[in-house]
Chain A
């Protein structure tokens, strides 16, 4: 048998590959066709904001949001969307970009990317400079202009609150993933429109869906490589 160069290199690398465990890469697929937001369903948003003590502030200038509904034309740009679908609603959240612009501008390393792809925040360290909000092209980050506590109607005891002067956003429910649970929004959706999982695991449901369906991501031209995929 002839020894080829690639075969030989593969033979050398085999012991390394046996030990190397590929990192997880958490991604979400939003199946916009299944989502009932046009019909007024906000189960995912309610569940997320309840679980994470996100304040509901009536003044739109001070609004804080982790998960919200957005029109197609604002999500993907009007030129990419048929006029008939422009005003349809779909879910928007932090994209947990593979190449996140927000983490690079943070002067205190209060936001950073974990090895599993989650763009984390350390609210202890956030000094409220809002550079990350300027850097995020998706508007996924909110600033606490006022003390949010009076606007949290029924605080969840299992998650901390925030104080005035820090930025916050979706954390892909890292506190739930750590104990083997799915994100709250995925669990709460009555239509099962949200699929979440490890894109590096070939057997995961999310990987199967990505293999089977065409998906788009928001503003790929920016090179941020979002981890939130949309089935249109």
Chain B
């Protein structure tokens, strides 16, 4: 029984190491709710906010097929408004302005290593990484 202190201290070190991520995150000021900047000039999105939050990636996939493969270049929205199907032109230049302040903020908040849209598509000037 002479090893008891040794074993207990070993166990304590082990537990501390295993639970380190939890301590670390608790210490860092985590999970403050994310506030996204609202677009300055634009008043209407191509779809409602709940849909865009949930399904913007599917919509963008559908957009790319429609524009590249079917040659359909516009998207009607509610209120009779018609949007140009363009990630750079419509979503960023006309509305959200900056990739870093909009796309990247949310993606990095949820720990998404990143959709690779911007490998090829142009982000408006001043908003690249």
Q: Which residues of A contact B (CB under 8 A)?
A: 112, 114, 120, 122-124, 155, 157-163, 178
Contact = CB atoms under 8 A, between A and B. Distances in A.
Interface string B47-80: 0000000000000000010001101010000000
Given A124-B64, A157-B125, A178 B120 contact: no
B122 A160 contact: yes
B2 interface: no
A163 B122 contact: no
Interface of B: 64, 68-69, 71, 73, 88, 116, 119-122, 124-125
Contacts of A163: 116, 119-120
A124 B68 contact: yes
A224 to B, nearest CB: 23
A157 B64 contact: no
A155 B73 CA distance: 23
B68 A122 contact: yes
Contacts of A124: 64, 68
A124 B67 CA distance: 12
A114 B71 contact: yes
A162 B122 CA distance: 11
Contacts of B124: 157
Chain A interface, >50% SS class: loop
Contacts of A158: 122
Contacts of B71: 114, 178
Contacts, number: 31
Contact of B120 (A114, A120, A161): A161
A160 B120 contact: yes
Nearest to A118: B71
4 smallest CB-CB distances across A and B, nearest first, come from A160-B120, A163-B119, A122-B68, A161-B120
A178 B73 contact: yes
A157 B125 CA distance: 9
A114 B70 CA distance: 9
30 contacts: A112-B69, A114-B71, A120-B68, A120-B69, A122-B64, A122-B68, A122-B69, A123-B120, A124-B68, A155-B122, A157-B88, A157-B122, A157-B124, A157-B125, A158-B122, A159-B122, A160-B88, A160-B120, A160-B121, A160-B122, A161-B119, A161-B120, A161-B121, A161-B122, A162-B120, A163-B116, A163-B119, A163-B120, A178-B71, A178-B73
Contacts of A161: 119-122
B46 to A, nearest CB: 20
A114 to B, nearest CB: 7
A122 B120 CA distance: 12
A157 B122 CA distance: 6
Contacts of B69: 112, 120, 122
A107 to B, nearest CB: 16
A9 B98 CA distance: 62
